[in-house]
Copies of this chain bind each other. A is one copy, B any other.
Amino acid sequence: MIDKLIERIAEKQSPICVGLDTKFDYIPQEFLSREFEKDALTYAATNIFQYNCALIDAVADIVPAVKVQIAYYEMYGCEGMKAFRDTIRYAKNAGLIVIADVKRNDIGATATAYSSAYLGRTKIGEEEIPVFDADFATVNGYLGTDGIAPFVEDCRKYEKGIFVLVKTSNKSSGELQDIEIEGKTIYDRMADYVARWGEDCIGVYGYSSVGAVIGATYPQQAERIRETHPHIFVLIPGYGAQGGSAEGLIPNFDKKGFGGIVNNSRAILTAYQNEKYAGLSFEKAAREATLAMQRDILETFAKHGIAY
């Protein structure tokens, strides 16, 4: 799956992933359905799904992937989970690769259940059923190898991928992740594990299907990790609204523009509220914001001799 992602990035010249962290409040008033559903959760979830579909249609030809942040669906209950499931299906039908941002973690047996839900299959009697069936999932490695192994197994079995949290984009990520022992931080150690977990999943472009999450807000840390871990493909959140710049993305990428995919959620979802895009529909504003991000990244790439 990592090879397919890299090929789509090269094809579209777009190492960008649109984050569907769709809160009900983000949806423009005039787009909301006039038919009220039987309850508020169903109403919110239905509108979120419709909004996602319109957004996917607006960007499907200019990005290789979407990232669906499940927290924004769980908060609308079972109805929200339906919107999550249907958004994944819609995005895949539109030819996009789907990253389920679920940050799941547990002991082995339970991690197996999570992996069945997002990457693998659930066995019921003789049937083996793909459930949410995303292409990638994010996971948290605090429990160590036995909590990650079931996901890696499904990566191999079903050609999927995972991104393990290494250095997260938030302000307090250093509290634990930056603790240093004998010249190595906790995020360094996590990166070492990621490399080990993924060593049998390296594809034709030199990157493993077992990747890492490293925030755009921490370019020096990204550089440090990249130096010693050439095979780790990086999912990079934190560009835009969280303060990450295109310049800061560079350490993740090789000269062919491979090595990472940059997520942007809020600045694209709510681009229509930005005065730069005044007068545009939310779909057109989102498309323009995505194209502006692409230009920003490709221009910065060019300065560093990176090209597809």
Contacts and interface: CB of A to CB of B under 8 A. Distances in A.
Interface of A: 21, 23-24, 40-41, 43-44, 69, 71-72, 74-78, 81-82, 85, 103-108, 110-111, 113-114, 116-118, 122, 124-125, 127, 129, 131-132, 140-147, 165, 168-177, 179-181, 186, 189-190, 193, 237, 242
Contacts of A117: 71, 74-75, 77
A263 to B, nearest CB: 12
Contact of A142 (B40, B118, B140): B140
Contacts of A118: 74
Given A82-B78, A113-B74, A114-B71, A176 B142 contact: yes
A48 to B, nearest CB: 11
A40 B128 CA distance: 10
A273 B33 CA distance: 52
A19 to B, nearest CB: 10
A176 B141 contact: yes
Given A75-B131, A122-B41, A170 B144 contact: yes
Given A181-B181, A186-B179, A114 B170 contact: no
B169 A21 contact: no
B146 A110 contact: no
A110 B165 contact: no
Please name the 7 residue pairs, one residue from A and one from B, whose CB atoms are nearest each other, closest first. A144-B172, A144-B175, A71-B113, A107-B170, A74-B117, A40-B124, A145-B172
B113 A170 contact: no
A71 B103 contact: no
A171 B146 contact: yes
B189 A173 contact: no
A94 B41 CA distance: 25
Contacts of A176: 141-144, 186, 189-190, 193
Given A124-B43, A170-B107, A176-B142, A85 B75 contact: no
Contact of A170 (B127, B141, B143, B181): B143
Contacts of A173: 143-144
Contacts of A110: 21, 69, 71-72
Contacts of A175: 144-145, 193
8 contacts: A23-B113, A74-B131, A75-B117, A78-B78, A140-B142, A141-B142, A144-B170, A145-B172
Contacts of A168: 107, 142-143
A147 B170 contact: yes
A104 B147 contact: no
A77 B147 contact: no
Nearest to A23: B113
